[in-house]
Amino acid sequence: MFEQVTVEVPGWLDEDGEQVTTTVIELCEKEQDDGEERQDRDDANLSDNERLAADKLLFMPNALTYLFCGNVSAEYSITTTSALYNPKTGDWAWEIIDALGLKRSLFPAIVPSGTVVGTVSEQLQEELKCGPLPVILIGSHDTASAVAAVPVQKGTNWAYLSSGTWSLIGLELDKPLITAESGEANYTNEGGVGGKIRFLKNIMGLWLIQECRNEWIRQGTEYSWGDLVKLAQAAEPFFAFIDPNDASFVTPGNMPKRIAEFCRKSGQKVPETPGQIIRIALESLAMRYKMSVDDLEVITGNKIDVLHIVGGGCKNDLLNQFTANATGR
């Protein structure tokens, strides 16, 4: 059974800087067609009174900044992922905001990462027994900070793969790339550190492996991550392939069963052992990464020399090797 969890955040402030609403997150069980449990998130909507009382909208990272020093702003990288940002004008998407009936005054100034926005409040200085430490906006979107840490060598055309539960693959550009081809390939333009654009797409990641492991634990066998890598190494290469982005793999549940079912429905050999299943998942991810790198070269017209892998998934040497083999990089 999942419990209901309530998280209170100062996401909406009134004109006095007081919190006027909370975010409620509910975890509940629902039945899917295959009878498996599913976890849903239900975010509470603002009431009319709360919307009228709200003076400023703060995204979560900027709400934390407000708690540290009282600064009200919208950091660039997190703002660009809101669907309320216009990458062509570099400002809020006022036409969308107006169409939603939201007050323009709700939206604070968009500020670059790296900006010093204040000092830690006197209350916190007293509590932490510290001096007036500066508060500096980081790349508030986690992938923006991850991409900023990529060890790039000058003169190379490089792409990045943020590898973890989910995968994000793309390029760092100086300006947005908005074309019919990029839209068809499902690439987006998100903000990066230093005013850069993260031209990227989302791909399924090690969620597949995590959910397989969780299912085997439920069945009574607890494999370590190292155990799963060894089993995959010993399994037959190219036994079968799945589309990691298929909708059947998105929700929690019996992932080994879903992988086997995908193979059966697509006319391939059906895996039976944990090693086969994990190898199929890893090789399929690597091939999806290759397809995405190929797409990037076609869309931009530039050859990619290097693929940098960052994030927790970079610890999976087997997936890294499969990715290097598949992409030739």
Side-chain-side CA neighbours of residue 211 (13 Å): 24
Report whether 124 contacts 65 (CB < 8 A): no
Does 243 participate in catalysis according to the annotation? no
Cβ atoms of 210 and 120 within 8 Å: the answer is: no
Residue 252 near residue 38 (C-beta atoms within 8 A)? yes
Reference 159, options 65, 38, 33, 296; nearest CA is: 296
Q: Is residue 105 exposed (0-12), middle (13-18) or buried (19+ Cβ within 10 Å)?
A: exposed
Catalytic residue from among 142, 227, 243, 246: 142
Under the phi-then-psi rule, with left for phi > 0, alpha for psi from -120 to 50, and beta for the rest, what region is 181? alpha
Total residue length of the chain: 329
Residue located via tokens 């995590």: 210
Distance CA 69, CA 19 (A): 15
Q: How far apart (Å, rounded) are the C-alpha atoms in residues 278 and 257?
A: 12
What is the separation of C-alpha 181 from the centre of its chain, rounded to a whole number of angstroms? 22
Give the largest Cα separation in the chain, rounded. Answer: 66
Q: What does R_g of the chain's alpha carbons equal in angstroms?
A: 23
Contact between 106 and 57 under an 8 Å Cβ cutoff? The reply is: yes
CB 277 within 8 A of CB 163: no
Q: In this structure, what are the phi and psi dihedrals at residue 100, rounded to the nearest 5 degrees?
A: -80, -5
Q: How far apart are CA 309 and CA 292, in angstroms?
A: 14
Q: Which residues are part of the catalytic machinery?
A: 142
